[in-house]
Amino acid sequence: MRVCVNLADYEQAAKLRMTKSAFGYYAAGAGDELTLRANVEAFQRLRLRPRMLVDVTQRDPSTTLLGHRVPMPVTVAPMGFHRLAHPEGELATVRAVTGQGLIFVASTMATSTLEAIAAAATGRLWFQLYCFRDREITRSLIRRAEAAGYSAFQLTVDVPVLGRREADIRNNFQLPEDCRVANLEPYGLGSIRGGSDRESSAQEYTDRLFDASLTWETVDWIRSQTRLPVMLKGILRGDDAARGIDHGATGIVVSNHGGRQLDSGVSTFEVLPEIVQAVRGRVPVLIDSGVRRGVDVVKALAVGASAVQLGRPVLWGLAVDGQAGVERVLSLFRMELDNALALCGCPNLAAIGPDLIARRFAEFLS
């Protein structure tokens, strides 16, 4: 295998190692994948104005998220089915992530139980939560996450139904029999099989179990079930972000599910300024979907984000070399961030501000 020198190299290497169906499940987006591409392109369009003659001998990319110090403003986004990439699945990923002092966000749709993930972790964990038609399942997941030591929830709000992911239909995506939705096994919901020429098995499964009637009152209900912080993941409008805070959200995650839900929906980076303005510093604002380079962190923070969530590249590292592959992806990403800080004249994150953004790209701040 040729040496992977960036995250895109890991994607190409992962494609060679994974089945077509599994790679397609991770890599593809909804519909014509317009939003999938727009997520990356929005970051690429922004240009920076670096400062010169700044002492950057010592650089500190650390920050605080929900009261916890982390070595860089990066968490690993919740993603399902890690065992499609590697037999150790989420257990390998969480060892790599928390071993570097970063926060791992475990998915409801993991192929390892939230308890097993917690046992393998050596650092801070958050839990991504879906709200099910059967509220007792949701309540049970909250209790289990609390008991296992998770310190916050990310409530995903952008999946009333699953986006139409055509690659999964073409590839007849099935979760292998030895690859289960481990967190839902106790409720008899561990298998994702079936599908048709009209719907994927994942779409049939999700539409059967997830609650399409969720409203802001659901957020109130979730908050009434736990004393832990509850962030809202999947926000793409400033008014929704402000309303979320009114309903007690302790963080906003700007996300379009990696371009896997509404195709032709906005990219996350282009709506980040609107959401930052609406939040007015009251809670952290995180952003995922389209983050592919360390310099993207500088761009996101210059616009006003608190941190980014890194998604697919982590899975590519996992597919290539398990825990070591994830460690390498995170190390590469941190090296890119460190390099970008030095070249921008920013010895720490406090030095990142809107003045770094080139004036001809000021529409990002309007």
pLDDT tens-digit readout, 298-325: 999 999 999 999 999 999 999 999 999 9
Residue 46 lies in a domain: yes
Residue 190 lies in a domain: no
Residue range 246-294, pLDDT digits in tens? 999 999 999 999 999 999 999 999 999 999 999 999 999 999 999 999 9
Choice among 68, 82, 247, 257 that is catalytic: 257
Question: Is residue 182 helix, strand or coil?
Answer: helix
Task: Give the C-alpha separation, 117 to 14, whole Å.
Answer: 23
Residue 51 lies in a domain: yes
Q: Which of 76, 83, 109, 84 is nearest to 23 (CA)?
A: 84
Residue 220 lies in a domain: yes
**Is 176 marked as binding a ligand?**
no
pTM of structure: 0.96
Give the number of domains in the chain.
1
CB 239 within 8 A of CB 15: no
Residue 209 lies in a domain: no
Would residue 86 show up in a list of annotated catalytic residues for this protein?
A: no
> Is 213 exposed, middle or buried (CB count within 10 Å of its CB: 0-12, 13-18, 19+)?
exposed
**Is 292 marked as binding a ligand?**
yes
**Is 187 marked as binding a ligand?**
no
Query: What confidence category does residue 81 fall into, taking pLDDT thresholds of 50, 70 and 90?
Result: very high
**Is 174 marked as binding a ligand?**
no
Task: Give the C-alpha separation, 277 to 241, whole Å.
Answer: 10
Task: Give the C-alpha separation, 327 to 237, whole Å.
Answer: 34
**Is 304 marked as binding a ligand?**
no
Residue 62 lies in a domain: yes
Give the residue numbers spanning the domain of 313: 7-164+216-346
**CATH code where residue 66 lies:** 3.20.20.70
Residue 252 lies in a domain: yes
**Is 290 marked as binding a ligand?**
yes
